[in-house]
Amino acid sequence: MLKSPAPVFRGMDFAAVAETLSTLEETPSRLEMTEIVASLLKSSGRDLRTVVLFIRGRVFPPWDPREIGVAQKSMIKCVSTATGTPAKKVEETIAALGDTGLAAEALFTKKPQTTLTKKKMSLAEIHSSLEKMASWEGKGTQEKKGRHVIELLNSVSPNEVKYLVRLVLGEMRVGVGEGIMRDAIAKAFGVPAAEAERAFSLINDYSEVAEIARTKGEAGLKKIGILLFRPLRPMLAQTVHSVQEALDNGCRAWEYKYDGMRIQAHIKNGEVRVFTRRLDDVTHQFPDVAEAIKNTVTAKEAIIEGETVAVDESERPRPFQFLSRRIKRKYKIDEMVRDIPVITYLFDCMYLDGKNLTTQKMKGRRAALNKIVTEGNHVKFSRTLITNSADKAESFYKESLKLGHEGVMAKNLGAAYKPGSRVGYMYKLKPVTETLDLVIVAAEWGEGRRANWLGSYLLACRDPDTNEFLSIGRMATGAKDEQLQYLTDTLKPTIEFQKGKFVKLRPTLVVEAGYQEIQKSPTYESGYALRFPRLITIREDRAPEECDSLDRVASLHERFTAKK
């Protein structure tokens, strides 16, 4: 007897999801948005994981290094070819509407309809199609990807085009942040939001959290543990302004605060992978760090944490800019390893031979770290002092600054490791330079000698309620030629549109900015303006969503006015 073919999974139509995304975009209330997302998740069935990813503007979960690899410029070409509109007109439409997805939708709406009736694309089809694109490599890939995007755009309705374009470019702009997603999962599948958040901080993937909540409920979420080679969200530090304040908060362990890149190394049977604070895998850029860890750690399986710092011949720290050159470097890694040597100072151990140590006290975690690491030339323990004497801690702080480090970290020896939270278990103490980490949202081409560089960067902070970026000032000083070149090269592919010298950028890059003062001002969207903002460093290690919030700006402003 002939076997009937297995039923093909079709699932939801992409058009239906696009409809919901439209509704979300028009919904201002966070509560209502949560309801809408929750009911979409509830009805997603086997499409759930894709739905969660798409709403957040992703094709792959955050820990997955795969990328679609279609930049803004190529997208403009695709829209131009698919709609028969000159590229310049596409750019103008983007400039007028302020968004590539919206512009594509408008141009596709105007396009004369083909006589062929379009078949409805399912969500699964769109997903697997984009997934396939990410796997293409080698010569001619860009052209092949372009043709594929055009084919996809031509297969869907203008409303779907809008979201497809945004998806390919990696930004959905419907305002669903991690908080709304967490609450929607909780609502849709009747699990506690805190449990969803805990699971997320460990596996860093809300699509998987949602799937487990759907199929296994709260009990399933509770079982989620640490996974090797899946970075967990680092525990973050609060700020103190004096040694005494840290002592008052229960801290007895003092460590040098190194100015480098926070790394999390995962080790399994001799294989080592290195992740950044943003959970990016940088093993390729830092083979020396992986090798050094491999040679110094004796455990079979472990997750350890530390700060990697660029150093000179006498092991003195070099400014962060040196290290930052290594972070995004894809080629000629050997040269970088030779020219910018690094030391990794280890300070924590979150997992050891099958055991999750995050629930253990810091004292125990540090003891575990000490047991499995033998210091070498490139891997050392963070310099630590245990004391409850304010004088001794103060001298330690001064000593750290004298050696060129940033300050001290004060830690609570009795506290657990809370992934992804800024709980009061660890504090940073550094000289008062209240800088802000801000995202660049626009810029202007320079003049004269600087004509080929972007300069005068429009900076923005984050509105924690809406996840939008709100402008706060223009930064035109502090960048050296080399940094201007770097900023230009990095920002150019993110240009959304250009008008004269002005370019609107997709918010992708964070910088640390210094300033003289924060004032209230109607000029910028945030309602505040920085006086004389200047570039301190480029923070590739920070995601735009991690830039400073409007609340922090407001509290710094308050502090300024109080001091006056």
Q: Is 540 in the site for ligand ATP (CB under 6 A)?
A: no
Is 428 a binding residue for ligand ATP by CB under 6 A? The answer is: yes
**Window 124-183: residues binding ligand ATP (CB under 6 A):** none
Candidates 21-29, 68-76, 255-263, 290-298: pick the segment binding ligand ATP (CB under 6 A).
255-263
Cβ proximity to ligand ATP: between 15 and 236 the closer is: 236
Q: Least Å distance between CB 196 and ligand ATP?
A: 22
- The yes or no reply on residue 472 touching ligand ATP (CB under 6 A) is no
258 binds ligand ATP (CB under 6 A): yes
The residue type found at 135 is S
Stretch that binds ligand ATP, among 141-149, 163-171, 195-203, 254-262 (CB under 6 A): 254-262
Nearest to 61 by CA among 264, 285, 230: 230
Positions 272 through 331 that interact with ligand ATP (CB under 6 A): 277, 307
Can you tell me the distance from the alpha carbon of 210 to that of 218, in angstroms, rounded to the nearest whole number? 11
Please, which residue, 347 or 453, has the CB nearer to ligand ATP?
Answer: 347
What is the footprint of ligand ATP within residues 368-387 (CB under 6 A)? Answer: 382
Q: Which is nearer to ligand ATP, 236 or 333 (CB)?
A: 236
Extract long-range pairs of 207-214: CB within 8 Å, 24+ residues apart: 207/48, 207/49, 207/50, 207/52, 207/53, 207/61, 208/49, 208/61, 209/185, 210/41, 210/48, 210/49, 210/52, 210/185, 211/48, 211/49, 213/185, 213/186, 213/188, 213/189, 214/41, 214/48, 214/188, 214/189
**Residue closest to ligand ATP when measured from CB atoms:** 262
| Segment interacting with ligand ATP, rule: CB under 6 A, options 256-264, 352-360, 499-507, 517-525 | 256-264
Encoded amino acid at 419, one letter = P
Encoded amino acid at 210, one letter: A
Beta bridge partners of 264: 275, 305
CA angle 389, 317, 342 (to 5 degrees): 120
Q: Which is nearer to ligand ATP, 206 or 417 (CB)?
A: 417
Residue 328 CB, nearest approach to ligand ATP (Å): 17
As measured in angstroms, the least distance from the Cβ of 373 to ligand ATP is: 15
CA distances (Å), origin 433, targets 221, 512, 514, 536, 546: 41, 11, 8, 11, 19
Annotated catalytic residue within 89, 110, 216, 257 = 257
The enclosing H or E element of 489 equals helix 481-491
Q: What is the DSSP string of 21-73?
A: HHHHHH---HHHHHHHHHHHHHT-GGGHHHHHHHHTT-SS-TT--------HH
Q: Report the DSSP beta bridge partners of residue 348.
A: 305
Kindly indicate which of the ranges 115-123, 203-211, 253-261, 293-301 contains the residues binding ligand ATP, using the contact rule CB under 6 A.
Answer: 253-261
Q: Compute the Cα dihedral for 251, 253, 256, 260 and give only its sign.
A: negative
Is 257 a residue that touches ligand ATP (CB under 6 A)? Answer: yes
Residues of this chain, 440-469, that bind ligand ATP according to CB under 6 A: none
Nearest to 173 by CA among 55, 46, 256, 30: 55
Residue partners of 241: CB distance under 8 A and separation at least 6: 429, 432
Cβ(557)–Cβ(520) under 8 Å? yes
552 interacts with ligand ATP by CB under 6 A: no
Map the footprint of ligand ATP across residues 181-200, applying CB under 6 A: none
Stretch that binds ligand ATP, among 41-49, 163-171, 257-265, 279-287 (CB under 6 A): 257-265
Q: What are the backbone dihedrals phi and psi of residue 162, each rounded to the nearest 5 degrees, phi first?
A: -55, -50
Total binding residues toward ligand ATP, as defined by CB under 6 A: 12
Interface pick for ligand ATP out of 99, 171, 255, 540 (rule CB under 6 A): 255
In sequence order, the 6+-apart residues with CB closer than 8 A to the CB of 139 are none
- For the question of residue 501 being annotated catalytic, the response is no
237 sits near ligand ATP (criterion: CB under 6 A):
yes
| Of 178-186, 250-258, 324-332, 336-344: span binding ligand ATP (CB under 6 A) | 250-258
Q: How far is the CB of 318 from ligand ATP (least distance, A)?
A: 15
Answer yes or no: are the C-beta atoms of 456 and 476 closer than 8 Å: yes
Which are the contacts of 435, defined by CB distance < 8 A and separation ≥ 6? 512, 513, 514, 515, 536
Residue 233, sorted as left (phi over 0), alpha (psi -120 to 50) or beta, turns out to be: beta
Least separation in angstroms between CB 280 and ligand ATP: 14
How many Cα neighbours within 13 Å face the side chain of 33?
Answer: 22
* Residue 307: CB minimum distance to ligand ATP, A: 4
Q: What is the largest CA-CA distance in the chain?
A: 89
Residue 224 interacting with ligand ATP (CB under 6 A): no
Neighbouring C-beta atoms of residue 492, cutoff 10 Å: 15
Contact between 496 and ligand ATP per CB under 6 A: no
The residue from 228, 236, 401, 543 that contacts ligand ATP (CB under 6 A) is 236
Residue 417 engages ligand ATP in binding (rule: CB under 6 A):
no
Check residue 401 for interaction with ligand ATP (CB under 6 A): no
CB of 346 to ligand ATP, least distance (A): 9
Choose between 30 and 383: whose C-beta lies nearer to ligand ATP: 383
Binding test (CB under 6 A) with ligand ATP, winner from 221, 409, 436, 553: 409
Is position 262 an interface residue for ligand ATP (rule: CB under 6 A)?
Answer: yes
Residues that bind ligand ATP (CB under 6 A): 236-237, 255, 257-258, 262, 277, 307, 347, 382, 409, 428
Q: Which residues are catalytic?
A: 257
